[in-house]
Amino acid sequence: MNARRAMRDKKAMRENGRPSIGLLALQGAFHAHGEVLVRLGAAPREVRLPGDLNGAEGLVLPGGESTALLRLIEEYGFEETIPRFAAEGKPILATCMGLILLAREVRNPAQKSLGLLDVAVERNAYGRQVDSFEAEGEVLGRPFPMVFIRAPRILDVGKNVEVLGTWNGDPVLVRQRNILAATFHPELSGDDAVHGMFLDVLPRER
């Protein structure tokens, strides 16, 4: 592809200069992500079919219920689309259920996953009585508000996985190349820094 063509394609992905970000909208908590993306100057678009991702510069995989999501992912053919999108090097932000979907290994109970993120996770790992809680964790050395909702726990991380955030000694925000993943819900805490990191890697238009 020559440089001019590449430039035109890059422009085509912008909506009035805003990067178009796909938001997987099959199941789960995607609305609040959309609000954060708009606040940060991006143009979210709901993705319900694989074709909806064409031209998107990034992808958000929200929280929800991963067993239900997995069925829909397979039904609509996303189990090919998402790995292809990731292989193109485009940024992906996966939260909670989204992280479970991308993990190498899922326990409690074991279930299939896309294996794009080299972590093992245990679902619903923080106790049955307390399904959700807020806590102060740490992201890149600073205190960070976190909302956990029936959250998974990262049990181990591969050597290419960078731990960017922790709570109570557990990794809760990790990055592997273009994939940024949180066990908590950064769209609900009122601090947009995680979405900021996700969008920061996109080329800027001036």
CA distance 161 to 175: 6
CA distance 177 to 157: 14
Among 26, 42, 94, 97, binds ligand GLN (CB under 6 A): 97
The helix-helix angle for 78-87 and 66-76 (nearest 10°) equals 90
Catalytic residue among 33, 57, 185, 195: 185
Is-catalytic flag, 122?
no
Is-catalytic flag, 187?
yes
In angstroms, give the least distance from the CB of 72 to ligand GLN: 13
Among 26, 100, 146, 161, binds ligand GLN (CB under 6 A): 100
Measured from the CB atom, the residue of 20 and 66 that comes closer to ligand GLN is 66
Q: Judged by CB under 6 A, does residue 123 bind ligand GLN? A: yes
80-89 long-range contacts, CB within 8 A, separation 24+ = 80/50, 81/50, 81/53, 82/114, 82/116, 83/114, 83/116, 85/53, 85/56, 85/59, 86/116, 86/178, 86/179, 89/177, 89/178
Measured from the CB atom, the residue of 65 and 170 that comes closer to ligand GLN is 65
Subset of residues 48 to 87 that bind ligand GLN, contact rule: CB under 6 A: 63-66
Q: Judged by CB under 6 A, does residue 33 bind ligand GLN? A: no
User: Which residue from 33, 41, 83 is spatially nearest to 205, judged by alpha carbons?
Assistant: 41
Q: Judged by CB under 6 A, does residue 23 bind ligand GLN? A: no
Is-catalytic flag, 75?
no
- Active centre residues (catalytic): 96, 185, 187
Residue ranges binding ligand GLN (CB under 6 A)? 63-66, 96-97, 100, 123-124, 149-150
